[in-house]
């Protein structure tokens, strides 16, 4: 038996609660069993746990789009007992039982070998949010390399700066030598954001309202986890030949924008998908995170909770009350 959060949808309504589960109940559609050490709470987990959005596609469901742990049984030739592994995405926690549990059974081709220099806890302190931030940064780096843009030659905007993606993106970009401007709705966190490497902080209200199709050129690049008017305004103020990496929808799924920045300034909009990203790109992102992410800053943006605390934390993250990353000790 092991403990897990389980989402059900009885006639009385949507529920998520702790349950004891027999290992024999784990999904048969998997060839690797993992003893989970750590998981995390992302924005999508918040939606799944609270039912605020139809993230979960079948019931009952164990939420949690991330986990890190050790293989206990494998019918997949890639993995053996004792291997340290991590998982992000692939519909886990949505259509396949996820990581907010002490055990998981998944397809071996979904797993990434945990880099030797990372602990399971550090991997989940990074989680899908940090992994997505690295995918965004790497997309911008490839774009800048093609355009001959050097670090420090212009400002890079990070929206949703206090969230998991934003916090890690600031640290990564500043570590690469870029001048980072953080956009947030919590200006009281200015010193925190500057401690991660932000050169300056702006109020999200500067970007969140409807704006002109073309605005004053400012950013050489943008990491956006907000969407809607914020993304539209970010695109409208990118410098000629710059780029935006979009990965989130905290403000909304709509994009009330004009084609003007793309056809008059040659701006590129990169859509960043972490859920089904090809394995070589996943491995490259995790290798880069293990080598470059400042561990002290990672510790500073991380708060640890137990599995029992995950339901309450889900509401907090949707309300924008969580700074940085939440890591879940599933055995606490």
d(CA 153, CA 172): 16
Specify the number of domains making up the chain: 2
Whole-model pTM? 0.93
User: If you average pLDDT over residues 129-137, what whole number do you get?
Assistant: 97
pLDDT at 176 over 90: yes
Contact by Cβ (8 Å): 169, 158: yes
219-224: strand order across its sheet: 198-203, 179-184, 155-158, 219-224, 238-246, 268-271
Enclosing domain of residue 107: 2-114+301-329
pLDDT at 332 over 90: no
Query: 3-state secondary structure string, 178-212?
Result: CEEEEEECCHHHHHHHHHHCEEEEEECHHHHCCCC
d(CA 112, CA 107): 11
CATH code, domain with 191: 3.40.50.720
User: If you average pLDDT over residues 40-66, what whole number do you get?
Assistant: 93
Note whether 54 and 165 are same-domain residues.
no
Tens of pLDDT, residue by residue over 78-100, are 999 999 999 999 999 999 999 99
pLDDT at 53 over 90: no
User: If you average pLDDT over residues 120-125, what whole number do you get?
Assistant: 97
| 171 part of a folded domain | yes
Mean pLDDT of the chain: 95
In the block, tokens 């989970």 appear at 36
Strands (E) in the chain, as ranges, are 2-8, 15-21, 32-41, 66-74, 84-88, 103-106, 112-113, 155-158, 179-184, 198-203, 219-224, 238-246, 268-271, 302-306, 325-329
Tens of pLDDT, residue by residue over 185-208, are 999 999 999 999 999 999 999 999
Note whether 41 and 91 are same-domain residues.
yes
| 60 part of a folded domain | yes
How sure is the predictor about 13, in pLDDT bands with cuts at 50, 70 and 90?
confident
Report the SS3 class of residue 162: coil
Tens of pLDDT, residue by residue over 263-322, are 999 999 999 999 999 999 999 999 999 999 999 999 999 999 999 999 999 999 998 888
């Amino acid at each position: 038996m092991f403990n897990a959060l389980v989402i059900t949808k009885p006639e009385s309504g949507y529920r998520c609660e702790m349950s004891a589960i027999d290992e024999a109940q784990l999904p048969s559609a998997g060839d690797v069993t993992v003893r989970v050490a750590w998981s995390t709470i992302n924005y999508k987990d918040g939606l799944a746990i609270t039912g605020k959005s139809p993230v979960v596609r079948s019931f009952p469901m164990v939420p949690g789009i991330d986990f890190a742990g050790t293989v206990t049984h494998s019918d997949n030739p890639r993995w053996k007992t004792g291997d340290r592994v991590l998982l992000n995405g692939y519909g886990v926690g949505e259509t396949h039982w996820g990581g907010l549990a002490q055990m998981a059974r998944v397809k071996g081709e979904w797993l990434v070998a945990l880099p030797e220099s990372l602990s399971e806890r550090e991997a989940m302190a990074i989680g899908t949010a940090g992994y997505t931030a690295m995918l965004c940064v790497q997309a911008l780096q490839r774009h800048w390399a093609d355009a001959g843009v050097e670090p420090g030659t212009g400002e890079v905007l990070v929206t949703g700066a206090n969230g998991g993606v934003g916090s890690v993106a600031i640290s990564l970009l500043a570590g690469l030598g870029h001048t980072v401007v953080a956009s947030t709705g919590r200006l009281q966190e200015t010193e925190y954001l500057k401690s991660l490497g932000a050169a300056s902080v702006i109020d999200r209200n500067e970007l969140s309202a409807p704006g002109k199709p073309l605005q004053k050129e400012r950013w050489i690049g943008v990491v956006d986890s907000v969407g809607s008017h914020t993304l539209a305004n970010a695109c409208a103020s990118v410098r000629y030949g710059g780029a935006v990496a979009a990965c989130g929808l905290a403000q909304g799924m709509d994009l009330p924008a004009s084609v003007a920045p793309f056809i008059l300034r040659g701006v590129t909009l990169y859509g960043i998908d972490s859920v089904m990203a090809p394995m070589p790109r996943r491995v490259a992102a995790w290798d880069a995170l293990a080598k470059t992410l400042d561990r002290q800053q990672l510790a500073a943006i991380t708060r640890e909770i137990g599995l029992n605390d995950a339901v309450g934390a889900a509401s907090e993250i949707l309300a924008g009350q969580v700074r940085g990353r939440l890591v879940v000790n599933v055995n606490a």
